[in-house]
Amino acid sequence: MTEQFDVVVIGAGMAGASLAAELAPHARVLIAEAEAFPGYHTTGRSAAFWEECYGGPDVVPLTLASGPYLREHGFLSPRGALYVAREGEEAEVEAFFARFAGTGVEITALGRAALRQRLPGLRPEWGLAIAEPACADIDVAGLHQHYLAAARRGGVQLRTKARLTAAEREGAGWRLAFADGSELRTMILANAAGAWADAVASLAGAHAPGIQPLRRTVAQLRTDPAPADDLPLVLDLAGSFYFKPESGRLWLSPHDETPSPACDAAPEEIDVALAIDRFEQVVDWKVVAVERKWAGLRSFAPDRRPVYGHDPAQEGFFWFAGQGGFGIQTAPAAARLGAQLLLGRGRDNMTVGLDAGLYSPARFSR
C-alpha cells in the first residue's frame, strides 16, 4: 500500500528542515532529500551571519523577526559589521542610509579614526564606513540540526537519496515517484528544493518563475597579521567583497553571483584570485596561504524576494524557495510564516508584522 502524507517537503536543507519542523505539530510530514544527507549543498557551505541589511529592505522584516528566536536559542555570537567605502563615495553612503530608513535596522556612520581602530592596516583611500553593531555570526550547523531534531520529535520522516522524478495530480492530492522506485501520496507538495526549485515546479506542472542559482565563492586564508577574533564582518558598500575572522583564519568572498545550473558547485580559481586582489586593495595584510576554498549556490527569484505560498494555479503545490543568501538568517520567521500560510492558520507574535503579499508566488502569475 502506498504511504499517505499530508505534506511532502522536497529538500532537507535549512528551508525544508525548518518548514517541516513548524508543520510537524499539525500534519503528517515527510522530507524527501535527493542527497545522502541533509544540508549537502548551500546550507552546509554557508559562511552565514545575521546581518540586518542583507537582502535589502524587503527582507529586513524577516531578519528582524527571526533575531529573537536565534538569540534565545543560542545560535548567534556577537560580531558587528562594517560597510566600508572609498573617499569620494559619500553619495553612495547617503543612498544606503536612505534605502534602509524606517526599516528598523540599526546603522550609524563611523568616523575615519574609529574605522581605522576597528580595521587595522586599512589603506588610506578607504575613509568612509557604516557600522551595524547588531550583526552576529550564526551557528549554521547547530540551527540546521535544531530544526531536523524538532521535526523528528514531531514525527516527521526524513528520507535521503530520494530524488523526485515525477509528480502527478491524483484525486485531491499527488502521487510522487522517486529515483529509487518508491512512490508516495500526499495532499500538499512543498517545494523547498533551493537551486532545484524551478525543476521541481516543472515536474509538478506548476509555473516556474525563473529562480536562478548563483554561485558564491569563499576562501579560507592564512594572513599576516592574523585577524583578531573581534574583527567585525567587513563588507564593501559597492558589493564586491566581504571578509570575517574564523578561528584565527580569514574567510573571504569576492561577493560573486555567477549564474549556474543547479549542481554540486565548485569554486573557480579566477574567483579566488579576484577575492584576494580585492582584499589586498583594502588592507595592507599579507596573504600567506589559501588553505581552503568552496562554493555554494544562492537561488533568487527575478525580483530577489523569497517565494512563499500556495501556487495560484496548481492546486496542492506550495512554494518555499528563492531565499538567496538570507535563508539562514531568516529561517525562524520564514518557516513559521510558511507553515501558517500552508495550513491556513493565523499569525503569532513572530509573524504578525510580516506582509505575506511581498513573498507570494501570485506575483509571477502568467
Q: Are residues 314 and 177 in the same domain?
A: yes
52 located within any domain: no
Structural domain harbouring 326: 3-44+140-210+303-364
* Model pLDDT, residue 196: 97
Q: Are residues 172 and 106 in the same domain?
A: no
Contact 292, 346 (CB under 8 A): no
End-of-domain residue from the set 300, 318, 333: 300
Q: Are residues 144 and 287 in the same domain?
A: no
Specify the residue for cell string 563611523: 110
272 located within any domain: yes
Opening angle at CA 291, ends 263 and 255, nearest 5: 50
End-of-domain residue from the set 253, 276, 300: 300
**Interacting residues of 91 by C-beta distance below 8 A, sequence separation 6+:** none
**Interacting residues of 293 by C-beta distance below 8 A, sequence separation 6+:** 217, 218, 219, 220, 267, 272
Report the alpha-carbon distance of residue 311 to residue 201 in Å, rounded: 10
51 located within any domain: no
Cell of 190: 512543498
End-of-domain residue from the set 300, 322, 351: 300
From residue 261, give the alpha-carbon distance in Å to each of 99, 166, 346: 32, 20, 37
Instruction: Render the burial of 96-116: b for 16+ CB within 10 Å, e for the rest.
Output: beeebeebebebeebeeeebb
38 located within any domain: yes
pTM of the entire predicted model: 0.96
From residue 209, give the alpha-carbon distance in Å to each of 16, 168, 302, 306, 326: 19, 20, 8, 11, 19
State whether the Cα torsion 70-75-71-256 is positive or negative.
negative
Q: Are residues 242 and 152 in the same domain?
A: no
15 located within any domain: yes
Cell of 238: 559597492
Q: Are residues 286 and 217 in the same domain?
A: yes
Q: Are residues 311 and 281 in the same domain?
A: no
Q: Are residues 148 and 282 in the same domain?
A: no
Q: Are residues 128 and 227 in the same domain?
A: yes
Specify the residue for cell string 502568467: 366
Q: Position 187: which residue type?
A: M
* Model pLDDT, residue 1: 61
58 located within any domain: no
Burial of 352 (0-12, 13-18, 19+ CB in 10 A): exposed
First vs last Cα of the chain: how many Å apart? 38
Number of domains within the chain: 2
Q: Are residues 336 and 282 in the same domain?
A: no
Q: List per-residue pLDDT tens for the chain, 366 residues long.
A: 689 999 999 999 999 999 999 999 999 999 999 998 898 877 766 777 999 999 999 999 999 999 999 999 999 999 999 999 999 999 999 999 999 999 999 999 998 899 999 999 999 999 999 999 999 999 999 999 999 999 999 999 999 999 999 999 999 999 999 999 999 999 999 999 999 999 999 999 999 999 999 999 999 999 999 999 999 999 999 999 999 999 999 999 999 999 999 999 999 999 999 999 999 999 999 999 999 999 999 999 999 999 999 999 999 999 999 998 899 999 999 999 999 999 999 999 999 999 999 999 999 985
| 3-class SS shares of the chain: helix, strand, coil, % to 5 | 25, 30, 40
Contact 10, 4 (CB under 8 A): no
Contact 185, 169 (CB under 8 A): no
Residue 258's domain is classified under what CATH number?
A: 3.30.9.10
Specify the residue for cell string 576597528: 118
Helix (H) / strand (E) element for 66: namely helix 60-72
Cα 235 to its chain centre, rounded Å, is: 17
72 located within any domain: no
Cell of 93: 553612503
* Model pLDDT, residue 41: 72
Opening angle at CA 139, ends 133 and 144, nearest 5: 135
Residue 40's domain is classified under what CATH number?
A: 3.50.50.60
DSSP 3-state assignment of 50? strand
Q: Are residues 176 and 98 in the same domain?
A: no
Q: Are residues 239 and 260 in the same domain?
A: yes
Report the alpha-carbon distance of residue 84 to residue 121 in Å, rounded: 14
**Interacting residues of 71 by C-beta distance below 8 A, sequence separation 6+:** none
- The backbone torsions φ and ψ at residue 365, rounded to the nearest 5 degrees and listed phi first, read -60, 140
Q: Are residues 172 and 183 in the same domain?
A: yes
Cell of 253: 568572498
